[in-house]
Amino acid sequence: MSDIAASTPVVGKPRRELDRAVVRFAGDSGDGMQLTGEQFTSEAAWAGNDIATFPNFPAEIRAPAGTLFGVSSFQLQFGSRRVYTPGDRLDCLVAMNPAALKVHLLDLKEGGLLILNTSPFDKKNLDRAGYTGNPLEDPTLGERYRLHKIDVTRLTIDALAGLALNAKEKDRCKNFFALGLVSWIYTRPIEPTLEWIKKKFTKNADIAEANTRALKAGYHFGETAEIFSECYGIEPAEMAPGLYRSMTGNRALAWGVLAAAQRTGLPIVYGAYPITPASDILHELSQYKRFRVRTIQAEDEIAAIGMVIGAAFGGAIGCCATSGPGLALKSEGIALGVMAELPLVVFNVQRGGPSTGLPTKTEQADLLQALYGRNSECPVVIVAPATPGDCFYIAGDRAVGRVPGQRRRAMAHPGPEGAARHPDPLPHRAGGLLPLPAGGGDAGPALGAPGDARPRAPDRRTREAARHRQRLL
């Protein structure tokens, strides 16, 4: 197939202009819906739209394929005006199996675009999804929505004919067919996805070629199939000039920690136990040792808070991240930091449910635990971001950037912002991030810096801290 100039208007079918659109990709947890949504987000951002996303994946370790519990989805709102939320009602739903249709159909607007992959609608999958009959044969579905029944699986396999891949490997490429189709429907450029495929699968030419073929096949299908009478266009959003990045809250928190390390001139020790949905911060920080950030994967939550307390005692800035259950385990360690007047920062990326709860479902539910979840008089500063981009300033200025000079404990509380994507302008220069500007108000000099007139620690503690800090450096 020839290359596609996807950024040019489609010839032959009318194009209707929209202010914004809400699209959701839904399928089994093995169908690649998160990847599909992320790449469509990149295409929308590349086209200049404002965006907001909501990834939603199952909390079960691996629910049986085709069941309601195993449905994974990714929702995106993009528009030519400022977008503040991922949206409530859907303009377009792409359902890759019966379970995805049953879970998400009620969120689709009446008259909305419904794209169904017909291949999985067999008796086995219908039974697993709890259907007594085949919804494809229900005439009311076509009456309420603009229904398009497409055998995505078969069309993908046909597009990959001649490649040295087995049937299972070819089936995995169907998400790129769906991505190409939706990219045509909303006239989004597919060049960013083609470039991503090229870089991602450098060492596996067959997989790269398969995904590229599937993406272009889906795009051309929308362009040539008679079932689609029109496509939709959304103009670039009017945004202030600057450098923008499609940023998740967890990555913004990690970058804020890096900026704080540069600003304060102190080493940062980040100790964390992997816990969803906070683990991405550890993954991101582990790549940047050159910025004087030391990452440690602890064996449990109590060990993690103990490590950062020790780092703070030694003169570094101690940081860790957790979620609701881990915050409960860390409460005694946080109280120890308060009593010892050591600078600590805890990122609590909140999730739903009590105890182990719903690990993959973000929620704003831990505020009372953060405020009052410690014994006796144990004050802790609580800061909460409003957007994914705000997480950068939360970490770099209000939390990590200020605790060394004030010997205080701070707790940052992102909720859904941790996993959502949003375009935000960040301080930038060639070669790296700009250090954050000096904070105003109560941001005093760092502990031990010139101008710091606070009482010094005992001599023995000072000597031990110096030795410990030397090892960190």
Taking the C-alpha atoms of residue 7 and residue 47, their distance in angstroms, rounded to an integer, is: 8
pLDDT at 465: 57
Model-level pTM? 0.75
Residue 244 parent element (H or E): strand 244-248
Taking the C-alpha atoms of residue 327 and residue 84, their distance in angstroms, rounded to an integer, is: 29
Decide: 287 and 299 in contact? Cβ < 8 Å.
no
Q: Which of 341, 423, 353 is nearest to 387 (CA)?
A: 423
Taking the C-alpha atoms of residue 32 and residue 39, their distance in angstroms, rounded to an integer, is: 11
Q: Is 305 exposed, middle or buried (0-12, 13-18, 19+ CB in 10 A)?
A: buried
Q: Where are the alpha helices (DSSP H) in 11-90?
A: 33-46
Using the predicted structure, report yes or no on whether residue 448 has a pLDDT greater than 60. no
Domain 244-472 in the same topology as domain 15-233 = no
Check if CATH label 3.40.50.150 holds for domain 244-472: no
Decide: 338 and 380 in contact? Cβ < 8 Å.
yes
The three-state secondary structure class of 388 is coil
At 30, the pLDDT band (50, 70, 90 cuts) reads confident
Strand positions, DSSP E, 266-357:
268-272, 293-297, 317-322, 344-348, 351-352
Q: What is the phi/psi pair of residue 8, to 5°?
A: -85, 150
Which tops the pLDDT comparison, 440 or 233?
233
Using the predicted structure, report yes or no on whether residue 9 has a pLDDT greater than 50. no
Write down the CATH superfamily of domain 15-233.
Answer: Pyruvate-ferredoxin oxidoreductase, PFOR, domain III (3.40.920.10)
The pLDDT tens digits of the residues spanning 259-312 come to 888 888 888 899 999 988 888 999 999 998 888 889 999 999 999 999 999 998
Preceding peptide of 189 cis, ω within 30°? no
Q: Residue 357 is encoded by which pair of tokens?
A: 């709860």
Taking the C-alpha atoms of residue 52 and residue 56, their distance in angstroms, rounded to an integer, is: 13
Using the predicted structure, report yes or no on whether residue 435 has a pLDDT greater than 70. no
Integer-rounded Cα radius of gyration of the chain:
25
Taking the C-alpha atoms of residue 74 and residue 70, their distance in angstroms, rounded to an integer, is: 14
- Partners of 304 in beta bridges: none
Using the predicted structure, report yes or no on whether residue 430 has a pLDDT greater than 90. no
Question: What's the one-letter identity of residue 82?
Answer: R
Average pLDDT, the chain: 82
Using the predicted structure, report yes or no on whether residue 469 has a pLDDT greater than 70. no
Decide: 54 and 363 in contact? Cβ < 8 Å.
no
Q: What is the phi/psi pair of residue 90, to 5°?
A: -90, 140
The pLDDT tens digits of the residues spanning 127-167 come to 999 999 999 999 999 999 999 999 999 999 999 999 989 99
Query: Cβ neighbours of residue 52 under 8 Å, at least 6 residues apart?
Result: 76, 77, 83, 84, 85, 86, 87, 420, 421, 422
Taking the C-alpha atoms of residue 471 and residue 363, their distance in angstroms, rounded to an integer, is: 39
Lowest mean pLDDT among 408-412, 431-435, 437-441: 437-441
Q: Residue 414 is encoded by which pair of tokens?
A: 């992102």
Lowest mean pLDDT among 82-96, 163-177, 235-249, 298-312: 235-249
Decide: 346 and 373 in contact? Cβ < 8 Å.
no
pLDDT at 372: 86
Taking the C-alpha atoms of residue 433 and residue 377, their distance in angstroms, rounded to an integer, is: 38
What are the residue ranges spanned by the domains of the chain? 15-233, 244-472
Using the predicted structure, report yes or no on whether residue 59 has a pLDDT greater than 80. no
Using the predicted structure, report yes or no on whether residue 446 has a pLDDT greater than 90. no
Conformation bin of residue 411: beta by default, left when phi > 0, alpha when psi is -120 to 50 = beta
Which tops the pLDDT comparison, 240 or 472?
240
- Supply the DSSP symbol for 436: P
pLDDT at 126: 95
At 243, the pLDDT band (50, 70, 90 cuts) reads confident
CA distances from 465 to 257, 262, 461, 469 (A): 22, 20, 6, 6
Taking the C-alpha atoms of residue 400 and residue 216, their distance in angstroms, rounded to an integer, is: 46
pLDDT at 471: 58
